[in-house]
Amino acid sequence: MPTNYQLILCSCPDTATAQQIAQHLIQSQLAACVTILPSVTSVYQWQGVIETAQEQMLLIKTCARHYPAIETEIKQLHPYQVPEIIAVCLENALPDYLHWINSCVLPA
């Protein structure tokens, strides 16, 4: 059964960027909720060098139909050359919560 809902993860370099993206996605009605997890540590390889960075993680709850617009908006607002944008399809979730997501985002 195809899912209509996604959890999109996006790491941000600082609180200001995380807040800006979260506010924009909510105001644009592309997401129902954006949770900002403070102070996550990311270890990654970039241009052949292993890096470690303190970041903020966004958990973006939305309908799958909004993924292309969310990706575009994050790429425009995000300072990273290649921002982390990962969508995970929700296989199971509280039906009332899914209904609430639908009620908060732009209609199809």
Mean of all residue pLDDT scores within the chain? 96
Q: Which tens digit of pLDDT belongs to each residue from 65-90?
A: 999 999 999 999 999 999 999 999 99
Q: Is 58 helix (H, G, I), strand (E, B) or coil?
A: strand
pLDDT > 60? residue 94: yes
Percent of the chain beyond pLDDT 90?
A: 95
Note the pLDDT tens digit of each residue in 18-27.
Answer: 999 999 999 9
The β-bridge partners of 88 are: 7
Class of residue 83 by CB neighbours under 10 A (exposed 0-12, middle 13-18, buried 19+)? middle
Domains of the chain by range and CATH?
A: 5-104 (3.30.70.120)
C-beta pairs of 73-76 under 8 Å, 24+ apart in sequence: 73/21, 73/24, 73/25, 73/28, 73/30, 74/10, 74/21
